[in-house]
Amino acid sequence: MSSQKSMALPDAAVAPKRQRGRDRVEAILATASDLFSEKGFDAVTMTEIAQRSSTAIGSLYRFFPTKEVLAGVLLQRYGSHVTDGLDAIVAGAGTASARDIAASLVGLVRDLQTERSVVLPLIDVQNDGIALRQALRDAMRERLEKILARGRTTPPADGSTRAIVLLHLLKMAWALALAAPSLRDALEREVEGLIASYLG
């Protein structure tokens, strides 16, 4: 593969060294984030990303040598948004009610969307390479388990199963927020209640 050409060039994003390039990169990331969020990883084309961000295809590839890498960078960049957000919720989980925690979780999802943190939609794209996705998934699961185990002396045996379900609930919250702008708030409230009851 890429090693044929040059072992020295890592299959990683190239950092721009000038302001112009940094702007480009931001524009690309924002566009890609939106598109991935709208249509999913596979359905988005590099050409589309280039066009929507007014970037020449060659420039896009200068900074992001593959579509995979582009997704990886988004994951890397926004990964901490999720984990930090979850950490904060974990921190307050001891004293908070199920309702409060649910509100925080849904609020987190809403914030992620405002910040274009596409983590949730990209997290289980199946692509070879890059252990990042798994790492992020694990990191989220770990926090969610803690949230589920809050206040208990012994964590429940089915903690990991429940964390998976909870993760899916967060993805559901994301999807619902995107789908129907008019119903958005009502749906959000519903999911919040749902999550609260799951945490209870």
- List contacts with DNA (CB under 7 A): 1-2, 5, 14, 16-18, 20-21, 24, 44-48, 55-59, 61-62, 65-68
Both structure tokens of 50: 């280039």
Nearest distance from residue 11's CB to DNA, in Å? 9
Residue numbers 30-59 binding a second copy by CB under 8 A: 39, 42-43, 45, 48, 51
CA distances from 133 to 27, 98, 184 (A): 23, 28, 28
Nearest distance from residue 189's CB to a second copy, in Å? 8
Q: How far apart are CA 156 and CA 143, in angstroms?
A: 14
Residues ≥6 apart with Cβ < 8 Å to 89: 101, 104, 105, 108, 143, 147
- Residue 62 touches which of DNA, a second copy, none (Cβ within 5-8 Å per kind): DNA
- Residue 14 touches which of a second copy, DNA, none (Cβ within 5-8 Å per kind): DNA
- Helix H, strand E, coil C: the string for 108-140 is HHHHHHHCCCCHHHHCCCCCCCCCHHHHHHHHH
CB 169 within 8 A of CB 195: yes
- Interface residues with a second copy (CB under 8 A)? 4-6, 8-9, 39, 42-43, 45, 48, 51, 126, 128, 158, 161-162, 164-165, 168-169, 172, 175-176, 180, 183, 186-187, 190-191, 194, 197-198, 200
